[in-house]
Chain A
Amino acid sequence: MTREDIIKTINTFLIEELEIDENLIQEDALLKEKLGIDSLDFVDIVVIVDREFGIRIKNEEMKEIKTLGQFYNFIDNKLNNQ
Chain B
Amino acid sequence: MSRRVVITGMGIYSCLGKNLDEVRQSLYEGKSGIGIDPLRSEYGYRSPLTGIVERPQLKGLLDRRARICLAEEGEYAYMATAEALRNAGIDLDYLAANEAGILYGNDSSAKAVIDSHETTLRTKDTTLLGSGAIFQSMNSTVTMNLATIFKLRGVNITVSAACASGSHAIGLGAMFIRQGLQEMVICGGCQETNYLSMSSFDGISAFSTRIDEPTKASRPFDRDRDGLVPSGGAATVILEEYEHAVKRGAHIICEVAGYGFSSNGANISQPSDHGSATAMMRAMQEAGVAARNIDYINAHATSTQQGDAFEALALSQLFADSHTPISSTKGMTGHECWMAGASEIVYSNLMMLNDFIAPNINFENPDEYSKNLNIINKTTEKKINIYLSNSFGFGGTNSALVIKKI
Q: What residues of chain A have their CB less than 8 Å away from a CB belonging to chain B?
A: 17-19, 40-41, 43-44, 46-47, 50, 56, 58-59
Contacts and interface: CB of A to CB of B under 8 A. Distances in A.
B212 interface: no
B130 A44 contact: yes
Interface string B119-145: 000010101111110000000000000
A46 B68 contact: no
A6 B170 CA distance: 52
A59 B127 CA distance: 7
Given A17-B64, A19-B63, A19-B64, A41 B131 contact: yes
Contacts of A18: 64
B248 interface: no
B64 A40 contact: no
Contacts of B63: 19
B157 to A, nearest CB: 24
Contacts of A19: 63-64
Nearest to A38: B65
Contacts of B129: 47
A46 B64 contact: no
16 contacts: A17-B64, A18-B64, A19-B63, A40-B131, A43-B127, A43-B130, A44-B130, A44-B131, A46-B127, A46-B128, A47-B127, A47-B128, A47-B129, A50-B123, A56-B125, A58-B127
Nearest to A51: B128
Nearest to A18: B64
Interface residues of B, number: 12
Given A43-B127, A43-B130, A46-B127, 5 more contacts: A40-B65, A41-B131, A44-B68, A47-B128, A47-B129
B131 A50 contact: no
B345 to A, nearest CB: 36
Across chains A and B, which 5 residue pairs bring their CB atoms closest together, nearest first?
A40-B131, A43-B131, A47-B130, A19-B64, A46-B127
Interface in B57-114: 63-65, 68
Contacts of A59: 127
Contacts of A46: 127-128
A24 B127 CA distance: 27
A45 B302 CA distance: 45
A79 B64 CA distance: 28
A50 B64 contact: no
A7 B64 CA distance: 22
A53 to B, nearest CB: 13
Contacts of B132: 44
Nearest to B63: A19
A50 B128 contact: yes
Contacts of A41: 131
Nearest to A20: B64
Nearest to A46: B127
Interface in B356-398: none
Contacts of B64: 17-19
A50 B130 CA distance: 11
Nearest to A56: B125
Contacts of A40: 65, 131
A62 to B, nearest CB: 9
A41 B128 CA distance: 12
Contacts of B123: 50
A56 B129 CA distance: 13
A56 B128 CA distance: 9
Contacts of B65: 40
Nearest to B119: A47
B75 to A, nearest CB: 18
Contacts of A50: 123, 128
